[in-house]
Structure 1
Amino acid sequence: MRRPTAPLVRCILVLGLLLASAACGEPADSEVTIMVPWSGKEFEAFHAVVEAFERSHPGIHVEPEVTRALTRQLDAAVAADAKPDLAVLPSVGAIAKYQQQGVLRRLDVDTSDYVQPFRGLGMHTTPGTEGTPGTNDVYAVPVKADVKSLVWYDVAATAPKPPADWSALRSRRYTWCLGLESGPTSGWPGADWIADLLLAEKGTKGVDDYTAWASGKAPWDAGPVHRAWTAWGELVGSAREGAAKSGFDEAAKKMPGCTLGHGSLAAMSFDAARVKERAYMYVVPSGRTLQVSADFVGKFTGNESADEFIAYLASTEAQRMWVNRPGFALSADRQVVVKDYDDAVQGGIAGMLHTSANTLCFSAADAMDPDVSAAFYRAVLEYADGAAEGPLLQALDKVQDALGPARPASAPPLCGTP
């Protein structure tokens, strides 16, 4: 039998050493998948945070899965047992749904630095037994916040500044930059507006009526909901024409051809340099009761590296970085203060999230049963196209009656004081 040559022996030894190091040495890089709805500047800001995480965690790679139809795609992934490790949950209803289905995993993340109601909506309260206190388990982390109750104007073209009162804003000398088209959720800009008008009711009554409506316990075709709907129609007037087919992203770009726009800074598509120069400013017609929103992140698998990434997203370090990237994100973390924002206008809005005199309420449509909110959005579009509100609201009452209340009594409150 021929003996192996020296080069062959050396090759065998080298191969053996390589295999041994692979088996006994450092583990291969871990991948974390996360489903996100963001594009453009929003995704650019998120990706900057991802890159910072990967630099500080060289053994972990984050792989974003971008989709505009996030809820639909996530539902399909859950049904097919092909869940991502993490996913953005864009509504209160989504958090509750996946937690109740048992697919959203409990997180070992400290969210105590987050203001209410952001912190509470990511939790699920488990009642204690007699003599034993209950527990608040964290199931989602609010990574990006917004204030929606803002009316924007071009400072050079609108003088004096508009009044900070909905009744005064009904003056016909104002023309609204109104676009309702927004992909799968077209109609939401009108839904947010109606919610703001309901919240503007005096004292705590507006908040009580709002919570009852969002929870499926108040009629649509009567009382405060009907009043808010008709007030919106009177407010925007002729701007409804063509709005159902006009993109929300494009509407603000028509300013100052149209006078005023309604929505969060992140949604308005303003040029960042002009915002920093205070070329665009805002009034707050809802006073001290503000409609807010957030993108939460939840965990769907047992991937331990995903725990590290979600803890990083919730950290003050990551939050401070995120708010100073493109997209005008706000943070609900108490440790991210106004002076941490490079843009003073953005920082001033962020300060509203930390002002104890304010009451913050999550978007009503986000808290509703998904079928009710979808019907709500369709009704907004039909109303903009000229349909009378009476039959639309009666139809929404029927949808609501068929589905029942959306939120159990034990659910975290939609409104809270920071």
Structure 2
Amino acid sequence: MSRVLRVLLAVCLLALVPGCGSDTRDPLVVLGPWTGEEGKAFEAALDKLDDGTGRTYTYEGTRSLRETLVSQLEADDPPDVAVLNSIGELTEYARRDELKPLAEASAERAYPPWAPTLLVDSRRRTYWVPLKVDLKSLVWSRRGTSSERPTWCVGLASQATSGWPGTDWIEDLLLHQAGPALYTEWATGRLDWRDPAVERAWTTWAKLLGKRSPESVERSLTTSFEGSTGPGGRPRGLLGSPGFPCTHEHQSAFIRYVYAGEDVTVEPSARYLDGQSAYRDAFEVAGDMAAVFSDDPDAQQLVERLSGPAGRELWWAEADPAVRPLFPDTAGLSPPASATPVEREIDSLLTSRARTLCFDASDVMPPELRDAFHRAVLEFFRDPTQRELDSLLQQLETVRVQVNTDAGVDRTFRPPQDICA
């Protein structure tokens, strides 16, 4: 039953109840990626958010975000607001005229590199705004662990998006070895996948991982990036999972929730990547961006409130310390005295010590190319030979050319070109 039909039925029923008017409006629906404790915190913030419209909100959290949104769009029943982490997907929806340009107040918070403008009919327009961000280009380890000869934890399984922890490695290596300019060309589809700099990132990753047994490879391919499950169903993290005798993990800031209360340290990844000193202070970032799919003006106002100080403070206050959100221009909201050294380090890196921030490359790519990248990483991890790499890079180049050819038909629309800031 569609949401529209459900609303009509609800209105009809209310009309039969004395004292109930016939002008009841449907709650605004927000579709997003947060589940578990993150989802609970965001939903609690929505429940307390007074935007002056008298509207209520329904939050739908799912790990299968793209699949859910696509099915809702096909049923002509989209959410009012959706929160996505893929600029490539958001660009695709804007090209199809399924997104609504943001109102001015929200557009002013479209901080780079999370929300580049799009050129549509010779006009610059803003279609999404970051609500929550994450810092990548980080390495985690147990306190006191030597970094001289790290052994790397790798868990590549992640339901429909398995492989992305590996693409993060390739992206981080390319950023630090070749710099933000070439990284941007590659991420935005303007660089051949067979370019020597791209190939070097893949071969460096294989070298860093070292020789692995078939059993170890299979374990990494089938183990979640969260690690194994511990008591109560809580993920252990790869640093504490049985069968992973590893000392270091390359992972985004969000993974801190699996190590809450544990004695771990975090540091920039640059020292491990065989990169150039000029790019030492460059970091990859990711984000969860809100976009409006509805003509309802209250949806625009909701995004304005969520991206502003009131919405942030509510969300931050409702979240447990391990899943407190980071924000694009202020990181954490004044880390409290109880903040852990890990929280303070991440906040410091994001707000002051990082000189260049570049958006996650695979999340910039069109979905077809991103998905092919994920699959290629899984295949290369299983067989990191030069012959296999040559074949995979050729396949990715073929996809890039085809995607660019298909997109080139529309001369009135230009996707993001600058994803570093």
- When normalised by structure 2's length, the TM-score is 0.79
User: Is this contact kept in 2: 1:319–1:336, CA < 8 A?
Assistant: no
1:306 paired with 2:299, answer yes
Q: Which residue of 2 aligns with 1:212?
A: 185
Measured at CA, do residues 330 and 245 of structure 1 come closer, stay the same or move farther in structure 2, by a change above 3 Å?
same
Q: Does 1:234 align with 2:207?
A: yes
Distance in 2, matches of 1:190 and 1:107, equals 34
- Give the secondary-structure state (helix, strand or coil) at the position aligned to 2:191: coil
Q: Is the 8 A contact 2:106 2:303 kept in 1?
A: no
Alignment size in residue pairs: 370
Deviation of 1:342 after TM superposition, in Å, equals 5.4
Name the amino acid aligned to 1:352. Answer: L
- Partner residue of 2:130 out of 142, 152, 170: 142
Structure 2 gaps of 5+ residues are 1-14, 229-235, 271-279
Q: How far apart, CA to CA, are the structure 1 residues paired with 2:336 and 2:52?
A: 25
Select 2:154's aligned residue among 178, 189, 208. 178
Q: 1:383 to 1:179 in 2, by over 3 A?
A: same
Q: Name the aligned partner's letter for residue 268 of structure 2.
A: V
Q: Matched residues in 1 for 2:16 and 2:381: separation? A: 72
Q: Secondary structure at the match of 2:160?
A: coil
The alignment status of 1:260 with 2:237, answered yes or no, reads: no
**For the Cα contact (< 8 Å) 1:33–1:64, is it kept in 2?**
yes
Q: Is the 8 A contact 1:115 1:353 kept in 2?
A: no
Distance 1:29 1:126, change over 3 A: closer
Partners of 1:220 and 1:394 within 8 A in 2:
yes
Aligned to 1:385: 382
Structure 1 residue 207, shift from structure 2 partner: 1.0
> How far apart are the structure 2 equivalents of 1:232 and 1:268?
23
- Name the counterpart of 1:50: 46
Structure 1 pair 52/394, CA: closer, same or farther in 2 (3 Å)?
Answer: same
Q: CA deviation at 1:246?
A: 1.4
Distance 2:393 2:337 in 1: 42
Cα distance, 1:409–1:356 mapped onto 2, change above 3 Å: farther
Seen in structure 2, the aligned counterparts of structure 1 residues 126 and 254 have a Cα distance that, compared at 3 Å, is closer
Q: Give the C-alpha shift of residue 412 in structure 1.
A: 4.9
Conservation of the 8 A alpha-carbon contact between 2:128 and 2:289: yes
Equivalent residue for 1:155? 143
- Tell me if structure 1 keeps the 8 A contact 2:316–2:324: yes
Among 98, 123, 127, which residue is 2:93 paired with?
A: 98
Distance 1:410 1:40, change over 3 A: closer
- Of the structure 1 ranges 61-70 and 97-106, higher mean CA displacement relative to structure 2 is found in 61-70
SS of match in other structure, 2:131:
strand
Q: Please state whether the residue corresponding to 2:27 is helix, strand or coil.
A: strand
Q: What do residues 288-319 of structure 1 show as CA deviations (whole Å, max 9, x unaligned)?
A: 11000001011111223323322221111222
Tell me, yes or no, if structure 1 residue 272 matches structure 2 residue 260. Answer: yes
| Distance in structure 2 (CA, Å) of the matches to 1:90 and 1:16 | 43
Equivalents in 1 of 2:281, 2:17: separation in Å?
68
- CA–CA separation in structure 2 for the residues paired with 1:284 and 1:224: 21
**Residues 1:414 and 2:419 aligned together:** yes
Equivalent AA in structure 2 for residue 264 of structure 1: S
SS in structure 2 at match of 1:76: helix
**Alignment partner of 1:34 out of 22, 30, 33:** 30
CA distance in 1, matches of 2:202, 2:338: 38
Provide TM-score, normalisation by structure 1.
0.80
Pair 1:400-2:393 in alignment: no
Tell me the secondary structure at the aligned position of residue 63 of structure 1: strand
Which residue of 2 is the match for residue 375 of structure 1?
A: 372
Report which stretch shifted further, 102-111 or 349-358: 349-358
Identity in percent = 30
Rounded Cα–Cα distance in structure 2 between residues aligned with 1:79 and 1:189? 30
Report deviation, 1:112: 3.4
Aligned-partner residue type, residue 318 of structure 1? G
Which structure has the bigger radius of gyration? 1
Residues 84 and 342 of structure 1: CA distance in aligned 2, closer, same or farther (over 3 Å) = farther
Amino acid at match of 1:22: G
Question: RMSD of aligned C-alpha atoms?
Answer: 2.9
2:4 alignment partner in structure 1: none
